[in-house]
Structure 1
Amino acid sequence: MSPHEFQRLIAGVTAQLDGRPLDDSLAAWLNDIWPADSPTFRELANACRSGVAEGWLCSREAGGIRYGRIFKALPDTHGFSVDVVDMRDIAGPHHVHPHGEIDLVMPLTDGATFDGHPAGWCVYGPGSAHRPTVANGQALVLYLLPQGAIEFTTA
């Protein structure tokens, strides 16, 4: 898997998200069409694990969190930026999602959760905020941010 192949894989997902409201119904839809036991989920998870192992994903580290933005918001990714983080039993920095956030949770440890979510998809609507937290082990989380918008806060 190369970054270019990863972008193609992500574009197949973001094409299905383009123009959809970021809300609970989108999370339900994502978990219905691409559940944690689906080929698409496995392909995305394998690509993320490969990218981390090869060093082109999660190439930075701060405060015990490995992270990195692999793509800015691009026409090829339908206006979504793409970030991947690698977290183990830790809370990350508080931030606001001006346009929302779509997350793919990929536990590396059985039972690991992201903000209480197991393997699968979660969606935060526009204006939402959180302190992203992985509990019960280690997980990779892929973030799709409309227009790449994120605002880190001190809250």
Structure 2
Amino acid sequence: MEAADLHRQIAKITERISGQPLDTRLQDWLNQEFGPDTAAFADLQRTCEAGVAEGWLCQREGGGIRYGRVFKPEVALHGFSVDVVEMADVVGPHHSHPNGEIDLILPRDGSARFDAHPSGWLVYGPGSAHCPTVSGGSALVLYLLPEGAISFTPAGEARA
């Protein structure tokens, strides 16, 4: 497996969601079309697991989290950037999503949850914010960010 495989898989999804509002309807649709019981989901999980094992995903580490931006926003990905993080029973840094965030939750064991959500897709709308949290085990989380927009809250500042 290589990054080009992941790029092709994600481009098929971003083509279908380009221009859609980031809301619960999109979340429901993603879980129906590309959810945990689909071949597309299994393929994405295999590709991400291979990428971590082969060292081309999650190349950086900090605060008990392995992470990395895989693709910057580009036309072929319909303006989305792609990041993948590896987290295990940890709370990540607070950040906001000016344009929203689409998360693909890939538990590495059956009980892991991301922001209290099990395996599947989670959509945060524009202007949302959170401290990303994995509990109950280990998970990979793939993030799609419209225009790559994310804003980390400096340490010590109030959180919305």
TM over 0.5: yes
Pairwise mapping of residues 3-152 of structure 1 onto structure 2 (< 5 A)? 3-152=3-152
Question: What whole-Å deviation, never above 9, does each CA across 1:109-133 have from its counterpart, x for those lacking one?
Answer: 1110000100000000000000000
C-alpha deviations, 1:78-130, integer Å up to 9, x for none?
10000000000001000000000000000001110000100000000000000
1:38 to partner: Cα distance:
0.7
List structure 1 runs of 4+ shifted beyond 3 angstroms. none
Looking at structure 2, the residues matched to 6 and 28 of structure 1 have their Cα atoms a distance apart, in angstroms, of 22
TM-score by length of 1: 0.98
Aligned to 2:68, what secondary structure does the other structure show?
strand
List alignment gaps of at least 5 residues for structure 1: none
State the distance in 2 between where 1:139 and 1:2 align: 20
Count of aligned pairs? 155
- SS at the partner of 1:50? helix
How far the C-alpha of 1:3 sits from its partner, in A, is: 1.0
Separation (CA, whole Å) in 2 of partners of 1:33 and 1:9: 13
Identical amino acids, percent of aligned pairs: 58
Unaligned runs of 5+ in 2: none
How far residue 59 of structure 1 moved from its aligned partner, in angstroms, is: 0.4
Compute the TM-score of the two structures, normalised by the length of structure 2: 0.95
Which residue identity lines up with residue 50 of structure 2 in the other structure?
S
